[in-house]
Amino acid sequence: MESVCARGGAAIRDLRRLPKAHLHLHFTGSMRPATLLELADKYGVHLPEALRGGEPPRLRATDERGWFRFQRLYDIARSCLRAPEDIQRLVREAAEEDVRDGSHWLEIQVDPTSYAPRLGGLIPALEIILDAVHSASRDTGLGIRVLVAANRMKHPLDARTLARLAVRYADHGVIGFGLSNDERRGFARDFDRAFAIAREGGLLAAPHGGELSGPASVRDCLDDLHAGRVGHGVRAAEDPTLLRRLAARGVTCEVCPSSNVALGVYEKPEDVPLRTLFDAGVPMALGADDPLLFGARLAAQYEIARTAHDFTDAELAELARQSVRGSCAPQDEQQRLLAGIDAWLAG
């Protein structure tokens, strides 16, 4: 279905019908607000006003207080996931939301350590998550894989344990290894051994960088962790040499415009340097990051590119192609999605 745009009354293509891959979505952050309310009531968890719906909070995580508040809200939401059926529900609903937004392939990011205490341990937690992924994929038709992410606020030895676990389940739905949390803390090189374990096990290296810290954190991801993809990476726009390097190597940046604004990285959607990255030839995969907190899912990120940055439909189609090419989807699935993108543009 096409909608009518104010641009001279011309019909424009529905962005929810544009086939795309979703490569930056965090596990708890994918939850529906209504589901969080129900689970909080079920387990007697008191939710602060910022998690009770309404206007998404401006967290200003570029300062210490803002980041602490973001982490506190995320931890409270995560505490409402206590049983296998909660995990099953979260993944199924996240898949349904992605399908509604035109996603045909989802790579969801999770640190199973965070759920292990309530799910019987690290291995049971990951197996419960993977079972939920398989069920949701079967029920919705959405291709779903898992990227296991270490927490850079924890000891690098913990990351090595997670990397070995991720490799162990590489044939059961795990496709990559990441590094999340505040990149202003510690050094990427402290986690180099964990990423070497993951890469040697055939997993994609996809650490966070270039969000709360500047271009140097992206360079660290490339130099120290040999990243094949970078979570966020948007601050690379501040360094033309780095932009050329990302473009030459074809390293996809998982850019999350709504998240960038909510966390105070940029003041407004127009400030997110999508056009700078795109014109420099840096592959991008737009992502929703944590829609539970930021209030916007996948299609909304493409809408930002259209309305705030004047991306044409041909350019939006190219963004969708870049998301597919940057994914770990099998080649036949990628070709099917690329053909669907061409059909959307031709329609």
Run of H or E including 5: none
Q: How far apart are CA 290 and CA 258, in angstroms?
A: 9
Q: Judge contact between 302 and 312, C-beta under 8 A.
A: no
Q: Judge contact between 133 and 144, C-beta under 8 A.
A: yes
| Identity of the amino acid at 2 | E
Task: Give the contacts of 100 (CB within 8 A, at least 6 positions apart).
Answer: 16
pLDDT band at residue 24 using 50, 70 and 90 as cut-offs: very high
Residue carrying structure tokens 């291995």 = 123
Instruction: Flag whether pLDDT at 40 surpasses 50.
Output: yes
The phi, psi pair for 148, rounded to 5°, reads -80, 130
What's the chain's average pLDDT?
94
The residues annotated with a catalytic role in the active site are 211
Q: Which two tokens stand for residue 270?
A: 């127009």
Q: How far apart are CA 236 and CA 282, in angstroms?
A: 10
> How does pLDDT run across 45-79, given as a tens digit for each residue?
999 988 987 677 777 777 767 888 889 999 999 99
pLDDT band at residue 10 using 50, 70 and 90 as cut-offs: low
Q: Going from the N-terminus, what domains does the chain have, and what CATH number goes with each?
A: 18-346 (3.20.20.140)
Note if the pTM is more than 0.85: yes
> How does pLDDT run across 88-135, given as a tens digit for each residue?
999 999 999 999 999 999 999 999 999 999 999 999 999 999 999 999
**Closest alpha carbon to 93 in 111, 108, 110:** 108
Q: Rounded mean pLDDT of 188-211?
A: 97
Helix, strand and coil percent figures for the chain, each rounded to 5 = 55, 15, 30
pLDDT at 11: 67
Q: Rounded mean pLDDT of 250-256?
A: 98
Instruction: Flag whether pLDDT at 5 surpasses 90.
Output: no
Q: Which two tokens stand for residue 325?
A: 């090419």
pLDDT at 3: 41
Q: Judge contact between 263 and 61, C-beta under 8 A.
A: yes
Beta bridge partners of 25: 108, 289
Q: Which two tokens stand for residue 129?
A: 């998550």
Task: Give the contacts of 330 (CB within 8 A, at least 6 positions apart).
Answer: none
Instruction: Flag whether pLDDT at 9 surpasses 50.
Output: no
Q: Which two tokens stand for residue 221?
A: 């991801």
Ordered DSSP codes for 220-266: HHHHHH--SEEEE-GGGGG-HHHHHHHHHHTPEEE--HHHHHHTTSS
Q: Judge contact between 145 and 166, C-beta under 8 A.
A: no
Q: Rounded mean pLDDT of 270-293?
A: 98
